């Protein structure tokens, strides 16, 4: 083993691993440097927990000659028998390293190691990564080297763990910040905030298709059901819309009780207006079908739901609005106000989806003219359109 190469690896880590700006590239370069130092590796996996409403953590898996594979685990994995009995789960709970020689009969009591043994692995060690906040994460090293790892090689692996952990924590914090921003303010808003657009009043005009939806009868629903049931219903209801919107290129900006505001940006160059509107309509049809299929058992009764969604095209102001130390990254403008007013017409017109003249005019035959209606707050009456294929609700 080349001790000098291991020392250079430690120095590279201490200096910030500047040639590896992303987590997968970081792990790849670490593994390749370890191999270059004379330590034979067959498989290396780093397991990092994260702060996310749906994800327990992420796994980064390296093998020689292959790209690093990144996967995520759901929150319920912590209670699963496979995780509890897995070496990674044991290290998470104990905070201590765990080593198995694959020719040791003791290793045969660990089902996961059967897979490693079948691949010709001879030695496995899982080492805790201790972050500065006290949390425990794990990196495991596997070899097919005859006789397994030597004591000198194990000492070298242990020696790189402290700087490896510090950089792992930095990558994890960046990922957590980006993930939470994406979850709570939306992808585009999160990217802008991470890029430094955090000054109050910093906003820019954007052309967009606007989606504003609302659950019908929500006030009465909230009055007769417990708050816990109402929250569960709202989560299921939003699950009927959010994936459909995001799948078709939309950005969720805000949940307002039972209301949802989303935008489908129209790029200055590249996006054809009709193509964007087509995606919005496809999302609306999918969300409509999802909500119509949604039901909620409530004692002997079955709760069923209806909603309305208004679609419009216009210019919005997208940016930071709020008090000096409490900001919201959202969009405002007359176009948003009109979409909100149009949504109130859905129930009156017995329609689920309605659209403004500007939106319908970009979608051709998808919409039919429902007439002209006065709109509160707007001097001129507005012509309203409904989906041609829509039955009354």
Question: Does 393 reside within a domain?
Answer: no
Q: Are residues 210 and 67 in the same domain?
A: no
Single pTM value for the model: 0.71
List the CATH number of the domain containing 315: 3.30.70.1230
List the CATH number of the domain containing 158: 3.30.450.40
Dihedral sign from CA coordinates of 197, 201, 207, 210: positive
Counting the structural domains of the chain, the total is 2
Q: Are residues 34 and 63 in the same domain?
A: yes
Over the chain (393 residues), the average pLDDT of each successive run of 10 is 92 93 94 96 94 85 94 84 84 92 85 88 95 94 94 96 95 84 68 63 78 89 85 92 93 88 78 84 94 81 84 84 72 87 90 92 84 84 88 49
Q: Are residues 179 and 303 in the same domain?
A: no
133, 160, 185 - which closes a domain: 185
Question: Does 47 reside within a domain?
Answer: yes
154, 185, 216 - which closes a domain: 185
The C-alpha R_g of the chain, in whole angstroms, comes to 27
Q: Are residues 138 and 64 in the same domain?
A: yes
Report the pLDDT value the prediction gives residue 176, as an integer from 0 to 100: 82
Report the pLDDT value the prediction gives residue 174, as an integer from 0 to 100: 86
Residues 6+ apart with CB under 8 A from 151: none
**Residue 62 and residue 34: Cα distance in Å, rounded?**
12
Q: Are residues 226 and 256 in the same domain?
A: yes
Helix ranges (H only) for the chain are 3-14, 23-36, 81-84, 87-94, 111-118, 151-185, 187-194, 218-224, 227-247, 273-293, 334-343, 345-348, 357-360
Q: Are residues 259 and 270 in the same domain?
A: yes
Q: Are residues 293 and 378 in the same domain?
A: yes
Are 169 and 131 spatial neighbours (Cβ–Cβ below 8 Å)?
yes
Q: Which domain holds residue 334?
A: 187-387
Q: Are residues 210 and 348 in the same domain?
A: yes
185, 205, 225 - which closes a domain: 185
Q: Are residues 54 and 181 in the same domain?
A: yes
Question: Does 231 reside within a domain?
Answer: yes
Question: Does 392 reside within a domain?
Answer: no
Annotate 308-320 with b (16+ C-beta within 10 A) or e (fewer). bbbbbbbebebbb
Q: Are residues 159 and 209 in the same domain?
A: no
371 pairs with which residues across the strands? Answer: 384
E strand or H helix that includes residue 198: none
């Amino acid at each position: 083993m080349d001790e000098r190469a291991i020392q250079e690896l430690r120095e590279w880590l201490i200096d910030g691993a500047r040639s590896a700006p992303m987590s997968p590239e970081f792990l790849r370069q670490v593994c390749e440097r370890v191999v270059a130092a004379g330590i034979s590796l067959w498989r290396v996996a780093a397991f990092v927990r994260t702060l996310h409403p749906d994800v327990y953590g992420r796994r980064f898996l390296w093998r020689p000659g292959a790209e690093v594979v990144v996967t995520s685990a759901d929150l319920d994995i912590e209670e699963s028998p496979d995780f509890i009995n897995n070496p990674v789960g044991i290290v998470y709970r104990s905070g201590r390293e765990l080593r198995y020689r694959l020719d040791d009969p003791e290793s045969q009591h660990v089902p996961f190691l059967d897979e490693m043994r079948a691949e010709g692995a001879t030695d496995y060690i899982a080492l805790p990564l201790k972050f500065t906040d006290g949390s425990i994460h794990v990196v495991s090293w596997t070899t097919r080297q005859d006789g397994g790892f030597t004591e000198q090689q194990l000492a070298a692996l242990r020696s790189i763990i402290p700087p490896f952990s510090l950089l792992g924590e930095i990558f994890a914090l960046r990922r957590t910040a980006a993930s939470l921003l994406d979850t709570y303010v939306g992808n585009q808003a999160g990217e802008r905030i991470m890029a430094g657009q955090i000054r109050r009043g910093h906003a820019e005009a954007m052309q967009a298709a606007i989606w504003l939806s609302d659950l019908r009868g929500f006030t009465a629903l909230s009055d007769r059901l417990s708050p816990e049931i109402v929250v569960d219903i709202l989560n299921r209801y939003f699950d009927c819309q959010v994936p459909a919107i995001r799948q078709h290129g939309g950005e969720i900006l805000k949940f307002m009780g039972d209301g949802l505001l989303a935008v489908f940006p129209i790029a200055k160059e590249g996006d054809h207006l009709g193509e964007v509107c087509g995606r919005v309509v496809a999302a609306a049809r999918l969300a409509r079908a999802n909500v119509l299929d949604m039901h909620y058992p409530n004692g002997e009764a079955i709760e069923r739901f209806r909603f309305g969604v208004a679609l419009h095209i216009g210019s919005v102001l997208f940016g930071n609005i709020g008090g000096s130390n409490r900001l919201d990254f959202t969009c405002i403008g007359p176009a948003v106000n009109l979409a909100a007013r149009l949504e109130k017409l859905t129930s009156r017109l017995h329609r689920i989806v309605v659209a403004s003249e500007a939106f319908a005019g970009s979608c051709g035959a998808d919409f039919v003219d429902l007439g002209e209606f006065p709109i509160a707050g707007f001097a001129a009456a507005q012509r309203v359109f409904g989906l041609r294929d829509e039955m009354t609700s």
